[in-house]
Amino acid sequence: MARVVDNPQIAFRLARAIVSDVALYNQSKVKEGIENDTIFDLLNEELQEGREHFLTRVSPEIDNRDQLFDRAIVDIMIKQAGKIKSPIW
In 3D, which of 35, 36, 20, 10 has the Cα closest to residue 76? Answer: 20
- 58 forms beta bridges with 5
Given a cut of 60, is residue 89 above it in pLDDT?
no
Please tell me the predicted confidence (pLDDT) of residue 80: 72
Residue pLDDT, tens place only, 49-72: 999 999 999 999 999 998 999 999
Confidence of residue 78 (pLDDT cuts 50, 70, 90): confident
Given a cut of 70, is residue 88 above it in pLDDT?
no
CA distance linking residue 58 with residue 79, whole number of Å: 24
Residue pLDDT, tens place only, 3-17: 899 999 999 999 999
Please tell me the predicted confidence (pLDDT) of residue 77: 85
Please tell me the predicted confidence (pLDDT) of residue 87: 62
The pTM of this model reads 0.87
CA distance linking residue 57 with residue 12, whole number of Å: 11
DSSP 8-class letter at 86:
-
CB atoms within 10 A of CB 63: 7
CA distance linking residue 62 with residue 44, whole number of Å: 24
